[in-house]
Amino acid sequence: MRRLLYLLIICGAAYTGYRYMSRSGSINLFPTAAVDPATGKPLVKCYRCQGADSIKCTARGCKDGWVDCPGPCLKLSVGRWEHLDVPGHDPKELWQKFTYSDGWHAWTTGHVGEVIEMRGGKPTNVGKCPVCKGKGKVPCKVCKGTGQIVCDVCGGKKLIPVSLVTTPPIKTNNGAIKLKDGTTVFGKIVIIDSDTVWIRKTDGHTIQIPQSNLLEPAVFK
C-alpha cells in the first residue's frame, strides 16, 4: 500500500509539472504550421498534388509517359482488332485485317510498331517503324517520358496558402477538441487536409496535427 501511495504521489507531481510547463510554453505538443515568408500567413499541403510537387501528366493520350507513335505503324488504338480462327495461333489473339483485291492478310498485336504498306497490290509488312523503332509508342513531349508534370496549382512548391482552401470551420463542443492522449485543444478545425487537420486555437495560433490523434474523426458538416 505504501509503495502504491508513493507511486500515486509521483504520478500526480509529474502530471502537475507537465500541465504547468505546457501552459507556460516550455513544452510544444504540436508542430508549428508552415507559413508564407512573404505574407506570414499559414500554408497547407497542396490539395492537387498532395504535397508531392507533381501530378500525373495530363497530355492527351499520355500513359506512363508514352503516347501513340505519330508514324504509319500498327497501333492498338488505330484500326479494327478482332479475333480470328487461324491454325497454330491462340484464339484469344487479336488481329488486324488488310484487304486487297484477292482477299486479305492480317497481323497480330505482336506486330505493333511495324509498318504495313501496299506493294504490288498486296498489303506487305515492310518492317519496324522508323519513328518509334518498332515500339508503337514514343515519349510524351509534355512530360518528357516521365509520366509526371509540375503541379499546376502549387507550381511544384508542395504548399499553398490557406486562403486557397475554402472550407467552413468545424463546430466543436465549446471549442474543445479532444485528443486520444487525453489532452484537449481549444479552438476550431478550419482545414481537413488529407491525413492532417488544421486547428485555429483560441489564442490565434494555427497548428496542425494528424487526424489519427483526434478522439473523434473530423468531418465537415
Both 46 and 95 in one domain: the answer is: no
Residue 181 bridge partners (DSSP): none
Both 110 and 168 in one domain: the answer is: no
pLDDT for res 144: 92
At 18, the amino acid letter reads Y
Both 183 and 145 in one domain: the answer is: no
Both 44 and 72 in one domain: the answer is: no
Burial environment of residue 122 by CB neighbours within 10 A (0 to 12, 13 to 18, 19 or more): middle
Compare 15 and 123 and report the one with higher pLDDT: 123
Compare 192 and 118 and report the one with higher pLDDT: 118
- Identify whether 91 is part of a domain: yes
Is the torsion defined by CA of 216, 181, 198, 195 positive or negative? negative
Both 64 and 47 in one domain: the answer is: no
- Identify whether 9 is part of a domain: no
The string of DSSP codes covering 19-81 is HHHHHHTSS--SPBPPB-TTT--BEEE-TTTTTSSEEE--STT-BTTEEE-SSSB--TTSS--
At which of 99, 127, 149 does a domain end? 149
103-108 β-sheet, strand order: 82-83, 94-100, 103-108
pLDDT for res 25: 43
pLDDT for res 3: 59
pLDDT for res 10: 57
Number of structural domains the chain divides into:
2
- Identify whether 15 is part of a domain: no
- Identify whether 2 is part of a domain: no
- Identify whether 116 is part of a domain: yes
- Identify whether 196 is part of a domain: yes
Q: Average model confidence (pLDDT) for the chain?
A: 79
- Identify whether 24 is part of a domain: no
Residue 12 has pLDDT above 80, yes or no: no
Both 38 and 83 in one domain: the answer is: no
- pLDDT digits over 110-161, tens only? 999 999 999 989 999 999 999 999 999 999 999 999 999 998 888 898 888 7
Both 133 and 179 in one domain: the answer is: no
Q: What are phi and psi of 15, to 5 degrees?
A: -65, -40
What is the pLDDT confidence band of residue 175, given thresholds at 50, 70 and 90? confident
What is the pLDDT confidence band of residue 194, given thresholds at 50, 70 and 90? low
Q: Which domain holds residue 83?
A: 60-149
Rg of the chain taking only CA atoms, in angstroms: 32
Q: What are phi and psi of 164, to 5 degrees?
A: -85, -10
Both 71 and 134 in one domain: the answer is: yes
Residue 20 has pLDDT above 90, yes or no: no
Looking up residue 172, the CATH number of its domain turns out to be 2.30.30
Both 37 and 76 in one domain: the answer is: no
